[in-house]
Chains A and B, each alone.
Chain A
């Protein structure tokens, strides 16, 4: 009995030490391999409920990296991209970050979702690593000077939406349906309400749902309907929006539905009847069926890589993010043999100097705060396609 115990304990000890040592050596090789390539790490959810966003980012980034490498890399240096899963959990995203550091990451593109991005931002700040998040839109993500965003911040979108609705006189009575358990959605909602108070908009209903009960929206819609809402603002993701549109249709409730960039992707939902999304308006920086060559090339490549999925703004943001990193590297003249902190310092400065035309906006510039400056486009869905709204 005693011997068995001792033996068990001994084995566990051996295992622990062995596993520590094993990764110790891994790190050595990780740190050594820089010099000839840029090592860009990416973090996002590949499993769990938010997996779709992470996968789109993964594909978008892979397309950009492939293009750049085929065209000769950045200043002649190839890019190596590695993507780690964070399951949309802040704790796991830090693990993913540390894992990428062991691999030799020099620049971080991530994380995809807001909560993990904020957690990782704390780590990148300590290492002074350059962080560019494609889609982590909470303001706290860019609270340090080494982090930048490709997407709009949430308050920015909320304010822009309220202003747009009021400026265009789309409606005066407005209802909001938002995800009360989500960082992105509640961030937009809060600013929208605040901004709406300054305009002629009247909020007749503000109803939440949560991640745990997001299939039945009858109450929220009924309240909007009873309040006489002419416009329903949906600062949410498209998965729930498909259900809201279906259920509103069943109730015979037909206001203007207005959303933000989270709604982009709604036409790509397999088997979703686009007639339900007719006349839905959204402020989005990216539209997958924009006619320009660049977008179309991207969409074709994306479909090929993902097996037929139509990219949403997450994929486009990631594609842009890689090219933005490239532009900043070229501007700063960074080389792969510099240390993480040196690269971080150089890119921080370069980011405020570059102007970038991408899929998600033309003439993007960045403030030193990390916030992007670009114009949102208002599009309306007509006959199942996005049309620019004038």
Chain B
């Protein structure tokens, strides 16, 4: 019965074939919309890249034109002003935060997902509750605590809070991965006499690369791009990060756009290149919130 209706409708539809213009629109409007938006995304990025090798005059007079001659000088100027110092600090803080954060999160998530011990539910609940709290919601006491520990203007003062604030997200993602991990594999290893450590490091971890990579990518981008805590926890130049440095530059050389944009470009391009090369993993890392 319904099969007949389907065929009937298809026939009716085929006999009233839409106008060629309508069909052309239907096929091309999606492209027009998406491509226009891609242009909106790309223009500022390309503008930064071009402006970073232009003279000041060119940036203002022909924003999207090519430079007459490439001004590498803009990049040399950054390093003459000592920007490499900020980059170094950012590297130390990012690596120093992400590596331990991921290790302690793997350990905690595995135990919470797979082991039975007192307080397990309470700990997981606390972690879920703080999953999305922004740094400014605990900023004032956190500042005082870090000050009491004498850790203002130190790497530790930057790194330890970053690790802590990254733990809830990492644990939640890894926890849900470990819950779905085939228990039979661990069981087999256990019957073979493996210690729980061996099971984690030789059986579970090698098969957890996608989840771990997602967490590493997400947290590396977050910590590398972080600004608020970095500006509160440091006062002198000594331990400031690149996000502070760029704000400093914007204040000091406010009219020297090429110099500021050379900094933006220098910090933006490596991340964009890594993203394009590993975009499958980036998309999974960010959409992983949706999993």
Asked whether A and B interact, the reply is: no
